[in-house]
Homo-oligomer: A and B are copies of this chain.
Amino acid sequence: MTEHTRLPELRVLGVPEIPEVASGDDLAQLIVAAVRRIGLAIEEGDVFVVTHKIVSKAEGRLVPLGEVEPSPLAVRWSAAYGKDARLIELALRTSKRVLRMDRGVLIAETPHGFVCANAGVDSSNIADGAAALLPDDPDESARRLCISLREAFGQSVAVIISDTFGRPWREGQVNVAVGVAGLRPIMDYRGRLDAHGHRLQTTAIAIADELASAAELVMGKTSAIPVALIKGARYEQGDGSARELVRSIDQDLFR
């Protein structure tokens, strides 16, 4: 295969062999060790996408469900739809605002402003009888990881912390960014010229979400690959925050 050197190319690599993460673990160290073990070269501009689940585990954000006393609302609603009342109780406690609670689906706003099922509370890929909350401040988690990874590799990398969210109108879930460090999460094309020389009016691409989605394609849900490395992504370096991806309520026609 002979390729032009200027062929735009993105590579998304799964980083396997990261051990089960426990509260207090140094996540950056675990990632660095896994990257070195498989002999991956880290380059300027590489993006690490890390599933929030292992961040939550490292930060002690697992809650034993046995300690959760469900409210009458959680008990009633969960019974009607065959849900675990303790999980629903945790979701309600975590919520800043409930958007919909209907047909077995609880859509709520997290303290960070993310709108998602069960306010991000989730019991998959966790030991029995516990649920994971989102990190308290996923941007800060990303920032710390980013600093450590930059130090370890000596390269200006970026970090995205991802979660899997459903969407209105469309079936299926996709990975999105809940924490960002080292990159601008939105690529704003407004005012730039398109291929026909017209000024683009409305295009602002949520590249942090697209990078998170691309990472999901190598992570999968059952394969225990909680970290992906993306090479060749075009993005603007800089201080970025996943909060920029949250539409403010006064701009939101669906909240």
Partner-B contacts on A (CB < 8 A): 1-4, 6-14, 16, 38-41, 100, 102-103, 105, 107, 114-115, 117, 123-128, 164, 167-176, 185-186, 189, 192-196, 198, 200-207, 209-211, 213-214, 216-218, 220-225, 233-234, 244-247, 251-255
In the complex, the count of this chain's copies comes to: 2
Nearest chain B CB to A116 CB, angstrom units: 9
Bound: A35/B6 CA distance, A: 14
Question: Contact: A245 with B172, CB < 8 Å?
Answer: yes
Minimum distance in angstroms from A248 CB to a CB of chain B: 9
Q: Which residue of B lies closest to A114 (CB)?
A: B169
| Contact of A171 (CB < 8 Å), options: B2, B3, B9, B245 | B245
Q: How far is the CA of A247 from the CA of B196 in the complex (A)?
A: 35
**CB < 8 Å: which of B3, B9, B251 contacts A12?**
B9
CA distance A117 to B254 in the complex (A): 13
- Supposing A172-B206, A173-B203, A245-B172 touch, asked if A8 and B218 sit within 8 A by C-beta, the answer is yes
Contacts of A207 in B (CB 8 A): 172, 217
